[in-house]
Structure 1
Amino acid sequence: MFRSTVQRLPLPSSQCVARRFIATQTTPIRTKTTAVDPDSLWSTSDWSPAQVRPYKDKSTLELLNSYTVFKLCEFPPLVSMTPMMINIAEKTGTKFVMNGVVKNTFFKHFCGGETISEVLPTMTKLKSRNMGSILDLAMEADMDADADPTPAKAKEVSTHILNLMKESVDIAAENPGSFIAAKVTAYVPPTVLLRWTNTLKLVEDAFLAAKDSEGFTSRAKLLGELNKTFPALKASHLSSLGKDESAKLDWISVSDYFTFANTAIRSGILTTLPKGTNELLQPVSSATDFETLDLVFADLDALFTHGAKQQVKIMVDAEQTYFQRAIDDVALELSRRYNRNGDVVCFNTYQQYLKDGLHRMKLDIERAERAGWTFGCKIVRGAYMVSERERAAEMGYADPINATIADTHASYNAAIDHLLSKLPQKIEFVIASHNKGSVAKTVAAMQKSGVPADSKQIAFAQLMGMQDGTSFALAKNGYRCFKYVPYGPIDVTIPYLLRRAQENSSVLGGVGEDKRELVAEIKRRAGAKN
């Protein structure tokens, strides 16, 4: 069972507050860097923690708080015990005590604040050190198989989210070059995304059965395979697929056609699987799902219209694989609409810990090249490994996650190579990674190819409060680097942080380097006083 966690949040403070905090800030002079081998990058003077001093702007009290947080992160049982502790606090009426403790420890280190006005000082501090911000309203939705909102109710929720997110865009616009992050599950009911993902998977299965050894099929052969699952689908539904009936169709052309935005196919792909099929594998069976998609997509479209007007870029976050095909479908439609004439507003996210992560990214780059829109993406390793593997084992399908961490590293680095190979074509991408090897590899490749450090086509990103040495070293040397800055009311953000901690316990447990740099800064200050 899954449960909706999207909550109504109060509208943040007005953007006039942003101007008061940000308009007076200056950008530091960028330091010119020289080409180095990636294996030695972090030991060179301009990149070493001793020179960068990532924590020099923190007060001593803040340093001690961050040190405490990192020490707690190295205690895995704490993460597993937290849900029980939250439950006890709720039952005993002491939740306010726990919220207070979390807000003054973990929340202070990993989050920007509860409201937009609280986030502004964080953005200002980052900007003073040549860092950008990715504003991330800390909300997402899981799914309850028994809870299907009506289209009107879904629209009410998505419009509320739109109003919150438009305020984020306005604040980001006050700090030129900033991003915001958007989760499709905050807009589209997860049950709808699940069913549409299942439908798209059935379409792909039909294509795989129909394609020849070279990866092509004909319209008639594809229809024959599709009819095994979608008996209502007729030749007339596919009349616009390909130039004519004899055209060779590959997966890009087929998947571009079978999108929620193509209203011509909808009546033909409503279907149900046989009795006994797990409810979580059922496809779209009612036109109500499409009605809901149309209503809430209008709000997503309005968000991107606002982002384009304010010159703010929007990252569509990756989520669980059982939603991802539908999320990709939405992101691709937004990319077609807003990534034009060399400009990128929509950045889709590709998780390289997935076995198909690199392949899907390459396909979508080719998709953009064929259609003439500009490709934008963020690449990450991934954040749902535990839950993905548990679900695959429970439901009896193949584990979608790479077998080893080495496979994920290889996929991630191959993605970097492929993206760099596309320069200087019209493409923009964000290397979102806490892995110093991947960052150094990208920096070295940029230097070798003569790509400027401040190229508008490449950016780096890390989570707030993690790998600050990497982030500030990039910024100090003139590279475009951003921090993901989560924010939101503490009641919403605690579950959000807990989910991230549960999914990233190995990352949180590997904070030794951050802790060492904190200790070095504390000792430096203690020595200066003696």
Structure 2
Amino acid sequence: MITSDPRTAAKSASVSFEDTSIAFASQSDRKLRKTYWLFALMNQGWLVNIGTFFIKLALRLHLPIKKIIKGTIFEQFCGGETIEDCEKTIKSLDKAHIGTILDYSVEGEDDEKSFDLTVTEILRTIDRAKGATEIPFSVFKVTGIGSADLLERVQSSNSLTDEDKAAYERVRQRMDKLCRHAHDRNVRIFVDAEESWFQDTIDSLTYEMMARYNRQRCIVYNTYQLYRWESLIHLKTETENARKNGYLLGAKLVRGAYIEKERIRSHEEEYQDPIHPTKEDTDRDFNLAIDFCLENRDVVSICLGTHNEYSCQYCTEQMKKLSIAPNDPHIWFAQLLGMSDNISFNLASAGYNVAKYVPYGPVEAVMPYLFRRADENKSIAGQTSREFLLVRSELKRRRGC
């Protein structure tokens, strides 16, 4: 177990993502074996497909499988059904000097009542984060507080109906309420990225909030999907806008999560594919974005939301070259709960700022999120996933093999 604060380590502390003794220090042998078998099952693509089908069917038929879900995939990737349920996870991560980002992961609700309820819940996460070093950020999706169809119409049309305009103003007011609440409580807040056909609308709202609330400190962060070929240009342009207009830019860098949807839609509707043609192009832009943000850290605060080991290592190396301390408050790394512990725990052990996204919400409502996690872990091109290999390695190490 990690017992001392790694932030007292030397500024040049190196990081090894192969050290499973640190990565899984917080997991008992029993918990690690359970994780091993879960990833072993998830690495069987056919089994994930069948399991996903039957879970969806069982939930639709209201069959009593909630307990099974909670004890397996939900336990691995979620903190609980409520903020209070997440407290055990928050404390466990904090012992390893890893922060928690409470992520209310309810999806599929699309009416005004649900939007207002989501705002209320996000406000609760901000209140929980106030003054709490163990919760460095809050987060929300704009589609959680407004209709995706409406956001798309705003992006694609200048002829909105009066009803559309009123609905969009309600979205703006909800977003302002969240960002103002975060500002007043000195809590940083991420605005997650979404599909390209309404991302411009999200960007516009987010920059409006930045200009309003990022004057003295960086509160509002936009998310840049570097698998889009225009994102690096966009990041550079908005950094200069922030500099010129006297506010700070918050940038969460991610690769992107909607590649199949983006490619299919651009093909069907015959417009230019917004995604880079190759993964190498995405990786290049991601690391160039790291360079740019570090070089402009007088204006830009960043969080690397990535499970890519090379990019995390690259950032630490660039920080050393620029004599930036590992715990510089303007530079963070973030991964999802239950994944890439070899990155999160080893970075934290070396003194870097790290946080885990901790999704929570009613089991039925977070199933879309959980299905995506299962799908991600079966889709490692023809080989057993990295997660499974690391857990297996640690079990062998503990057995002295």
TM-score (normalizing by structure 2) = 0.92
Distance 2:70 2:356 in 1: 19
Equivalent residue in structure 2 for 1:294, among 131, 155, 169: 169
Counterpart check, 1:388 vs 2:262 = yes
Given that 2:82 and 2:362 are in contact with CA atoms closer than 8 Å, whether structure 1 keeps it comes out as yes
Is the CA contact (8 Å cut-off) linking 1:73 and 1:508 kept in structure 2?
Answer: no
Deviations 1:488-521 (A, max 9, x none): 1100111222245446753698774333332333
> Closer, same or farther in 2 for the Cα pair 1:386/1:123, shift >3 Å?
same
Distance in 2 separating the partners of 1:286 and 1:508: 47
Residues 34-55 of structure 1, C-alpha deviations (whole Å, 9 max, x = no match): 648xxxx555xxx6515x5211
Alignment partner of 1:165 out of 95, 99, 122: 122
> Aligned to 1:486, what secondary structure does the other structure show?
strand
1:128 counterpart residue number: 95
Structure scoring higher RCO (CA < 8 A, sep ≥ 6) equals 2
* C-alpha displacement of 1:169: 1.1
Select the residue among 360, 364, 369 that pairs with 2:238: 364
For structure 2, the residue ranges without an aligned partner over 5 or more in a row are none
Structure 1: distance between partners of 2:299 and 2:153: 34
**2:86 aligned with 1:109:** no
Amino acid at match of 2:120: N
Task: Flag structure 1 segments of 5+ consecutive residues without an equivalent.
Answer: 1-25, 144-148, 200-268, 271-284
Whole-Å Cα distance in 2 between the matches of residues 486 and 508 of structure 1? 26
% same residue: 33
CA-based RMSD: 2.4
**Counterpart code for 2:204:** D
1:333 to 208, 226, 240: 208
Q: Partner residue of 2:358? A: 485
Which of 509, 517, 525 in structure 1 is aligned with 2:390? Answer: 517
Question: 5 Å matches for 1:300-311?
Answer: 300-311=175-186
Q: Which residue does the alignment assign to 2:274?
A: 400
2:31 to 62, 68, 78: 62
Structure 2 CA distance for partners of 1:93 and 1:452, relative to 1, 3 Å = closer
Aligned AA (1:28): D
TM-score (norm 1): 0.70
Find 1:49's aligned residue among 14, 19, 29: 19
Question: Hey, what's the Cα distance between the residues in 2 that align with 1:497 and 1:516?
Answer: 21
2:19 alignment partner AA: P
Q: Which amino acid aligns with 2:265?
A: R
The residue identity in structure 2 corresponding to 1:393 is H
* C-alpha separation in 2, matches of 1:363 and 1:101: 49
Kindly indicate whether the alpha-carbon contact (under 8 Å) linking 1:27 and 1:130 is maintained by their aligned counterparts in 2. Answer: no
Per-residue deviation, 1:400 = 1.5
Measured at CA, do residues 455 and 427 of structure 1 come closer, stay the same or move farther in structure 2, by a change above 3 Å? same
Matched, 1:354 2:228: yes
Give the Å deviation of 1:486: 0.6
Q: Deviations over 1:346-401 (max 9, x none)?
A: 10000001121111111111111121111111000011111111222222222221
Which stretch of the first structure deviates more once superposed, 82-91 or 442-451? 82-91
Q: Deviations over 1:201-247 (max 9, x none)?
A: xxxxxxxxxxxxxxxxxxxxxxxxxxxxxxxxxxxxxxxxxxxxxxx
- CA separation of 1:508 and 1:433: change in aligned 2, threshold 3 A: farther
Q: For the residues of structure 1 that align with 2:255 and 2:10, how far apart are their CA atoms?
A: 27
Distance 2:226 2:380 in 1: 16
Shift of 1:83: 4.5
Change (3 A) 1:197 1:81: farther
Q: Which is greater in Rg?
A: 1
User: In the TM superposition, what whole-angstrom CA distance separates every residue of 1:92-141 from its partner, at most 9, and x where no partner exists?
Assistant: 542x22x3222211111111111111101101111111111111101244
Whether the 8 Å contact between 2:6 and 2:350 is mirrored in structure 1 is no
Call closer, same or farther: CA 1:474–1:106 in 2, change over 3 Å. Answer: same
Cα distance, 1:338 vs. partner? 0.8
Paired residues of 1:301 and 1:334 also in contact (CA < 8 A): yes
- 2:326 aligned partner: 453
1:414 aligns with 288
Cα offsets for 1:449-479 (capped at 9, x unmatched): 1111110111111111111011111111111
Q: Secondary structure at the match of 1:53?
A: helix
Aligned length: 398
**Aligned partners of 2:69 and 2:312: how far apart in 1?**
31
Q: 1:344 aligns with which of 190, 213, 218?
A: 218
Secondary structure at the aligned position of 1:30 is classed as: helix
Give the alignment of 1:92-491 within 5 angstroms.
92-94=61-63, 96-97=64-65, 99-141=66-108, 154=112, 156-173=113-130, 175-176=132-133, 178-199=136-157, 269-270=158-159, 285-341=160-216, 343-423=217-297, 425-491=298-364
2:351 and 2:384 mapped to 1: Cα distance? 25
Partner of 1:261: none
